[in-house]
Structure 1
Amino acid sequence: MSHSRLSRRDLLLSGATLAGLAAVPALAASEAVPVHVRKDPDCSCCTAWIDILQADGFDVTVEMVPPAELAAFKASRGIPAAMVSCHTAEAGGYLIEGHVPMADLRRLLAEKPDALGLSVPGMPWGSPGMGPEAEREAYDVHLIARDGSTTVFTSYPAA
């Protein structure tokens, strides 16, 4: 009667194989998410937000758009006038209006709500790309529904 026996080497190789397979979904999840940003060529705060996107691992493309054309794009895509900011991005089928924090963008992409996108209306001081977070004024990130209505997605208190 023969007994099969796992050698220490076999056990180590099996463990390494399982560890390698377990890492495959993690690699796929960490792939850079493409983000296309439309911005006014003269806006430096938009450039600062884009730098933050890139530093956070997003794959960013930028399109310079004259202000009137950018405003028309926002309106044609259903962004309510009260939610407008300085730049508009597209990521994962969503519109991202203004200085939305990376954590909120990642949460949106993970949760995948049935919505148009997110907005930080205006240009609040201390939002990403708008000055130091340590000096932040209070602001809200809004979830824009497909019908144009909004709800607060995240609130940031003043620093």
Structure 2
Amino acid sequence: MNRRTFCLATAVALVGLPLAAHAETLHATLYKNPQCSCCEGYAAYLRNNGFEVDVKATNDLAQISLKTGVPANLQGCHTMFIDGYVVDGHVPVKTLRKLLTEKPAIAGITLPGMPTGSPGMVGKKKGPFTIYAITKDRTAPTVYATE
């Protein structure tokens, strides 16, 4: 096999691999209430999408979110730290990857509450999810994405 054939065959083989095989594994730490099971579902969803997730149970979840700038009315049911950002709630991977690719100058993002049909939650999605950007200077959050 000549060099050109080898390179072409390798490129074709790599195209068929999942995205996670092409990139470094992204490491995340997810803090959750000890009694919450949907957070484990979200962690499994992330793992199935190529992330490495360390889950830590805590009774101080609201305090963790507040310390990172997530207002009480926009908190999700868990708080995750990844690549220097805070991610609150059941944020879909598409928006999470957007954050990690664009690397905006914000503290993080949040999908408030526990929306039905969001990753890790049961039920059928009833409409678009609104994901908010959490600013570093603690000014009012703005819409980061809808999904």
> What runs of 5+ residues in structure 1 fail to find an aligned partner?
1-8
- Asked if residue 147 in structure 1 is aligned to residue 137 in structure 2, the reply is yes
**Paired residue for 1:70?**
61
Could you tell me whether the CA contact under 8 Å between 1:49 and 1:99 is conserved in 2? yes
2:133–2:143: 8 Å Cα contact kept in structure 1?
yes
- Helix, strand or coil at the partner of 2:47: helix
Among residues 70, 76, 81, which one is paired with 2:72 in the alignment? 81
| Number of the residue aligned with 1:4 | none
- Check the 8 A contact 2:20/2:49 in 1, yes or no: no
CA RMSD of aligned residues (A): 2.4
Contact 1:98–1:120 at 8 Å: present in 2 too?
Answer: yes
Assess, with a 3 A threshold, how the Cα gap between structure 1 residues 27 and 105 changes in structure 2: closer, same or farther.
closer
Normalised by the length of structure 2, the TM-score is: 0.83
Give the TM-score taking structure 1 as reference length: 0.77
State the percentage of identical aligned residues: 36
User: Which of 25, 34, 38 is the matching residue for 1:32?
Assistant: 25
Shift of 1:115: 0.4
String of CA shifts for 1:109-136, please: whole Å, max 9, x gaps.
000000011100111111111224x443
Instruction: Determine which structure has the larger helix proportion and give its number.
Output: 1
The whole-number CA distance in structure 1 between the counterparts of 2:20 and 2:77 is 34
Q: Determine which structure has more spread, i.e. the larger CA radius of gyration.
A: 1
The CA deviation at 1:139 is 2.6
Tell me how many residue pairs correspond in the alignment. 141
Structure-2 separation of matches of 1:109 and 1:65: 25
State the distance in 2 between where 1:116 and 1:96 align: 9
After superposition, give the CA deviation of every residue in 1:69-112 in whole Å (9 maximum; x if it has no partner).
22111112221222211100011100000010011001100000
Query: 2:42 maps to which residue?
Result: 49
Alpha carbons 1:124, 1:137 under 8 Å: kept: no
Q: Say whether the 8 Å CA contact 1:126–1:137 is kept in structure 2.
A: no
Change (3 A) 1:77 1:27: closer
Structure 2 residue runs of 5 or longer lacking an equivalent are none
